[in-house]
Homo-oligomer: A and B are copies of this chain.
């Protein structure tokens, strides 16, 4: 074994499919542009193997080479990923409603779905006046501290909830809830009220209000949130607007031919 220090890597690196996945995942951590040897190092694959695979991927546009000859994720991957029903597909029908919400609040409007035990943010509208957020589109984030996460967690299968609350809850600010029992009670409130408030859980100057998005079968498939600067408005006063927008998306999803209901079995 080489002295590579990757802990998160998958177990199965025998198949080409697995190698390709590890190779592409190398771009997730760190910068968006990598040299061949950086890819080899981060993916834990042999140089020659990476060289061959990267060559083929580049030929097909899955990777591209920049002016400095570095490799970057290419458009071909973007084109295929654009077809993901829970990603851009969902975004497509949600956008007009998010737009409305943005106009009213002038603050970050976020749309997220659950992947395993984390949130993946699918879309975010932000103007230049919006308060800064630590999330990135296509990026993961723990569920408990975020508004969308609370909604998704509240409506997730109980096994998922168990597992998430069994793990230590990461602290971001002095307000972050780290007691599983407290969070459990918050989740019950979220289910009762139909919306969630995350008060300075991620950054000390922001809070978010979130509401669930349902598919045709009544399952929660996503969550919508607005991120506000702390102190600017009373959170609960925005709940109706967020819920309205979320319901608008839900309705659009039900009537759309392309059902976006999906489950990630734990």
The answer to whether residues A32 and B75 also contact, given A21-B60, A262-B66 and a CB cut-off of 8 A, is no
Inter-chain contact A83/B20, CB cutoff 8 Å: no
Inter-chain contact B80/A81, CB cutoff 8 Å: yes
Q: Separation in Å of the A64 CB from the closest CB of chain B?
A: 6
Give complex CA distance A78, B25 in Å.
12
Interface segment, one of A135-143, A156-164, A173-181: A135-143
Contact digits for A86-127, partner B, Cβ 8 Å, 1 yes 0 no: 111100100110010011000000000101000010100111
Q: Is residue A259 within 8 Å, beta carbon to beta carbon, of the partner chain?
A: yes
Give complex CA distance A24, B76 in Å.
11
Which B residues touch A18, using CB under 8 A?
A: 56, 60
Inter-chain contact A4/B59, CB cutoff 8 Å: yes
A-B contact pairs, 27 of them (CB 8 A): A15-B56, A16-B17, A17-B60, A18-B56, A18-B60, A21-B60, A28-B79, A28-B80, A66-B261, A66-B262, A67-B259, A67-B261, A72-B83, A72-B262, A73-B80, A73-B83, A74-B86, A75-B113, A78-B81, A78-B122, A78-B138, A82-B136, A88-B138, A92-B137, A95-B126, A96-B126, A96-B127
Give complex CA distance A62, B73 in Å.
16
* Cβ-closest chain B residue relative to A22: B60
Which B residues touch A136, using CB under 8 A?
A: 82
Which of B74, B89, B103, B262 makes the CB contact (< 8 A) with A67? B262
Which of B15, B74, B83, B264 makes the CB contact (< 8 A) with A138? B83
Inter-chain contact A77/B77, CB cutoff 8 Å: yes
| Oligomer: number of copies | 2
Q: Is residue A132 within 8 Å, beta carbon to beta carbon, of the partner chain?
A: no
Among A4, A72, A264, find the residue whose CB has the most chain B CB atoms closer than 10 A: A72
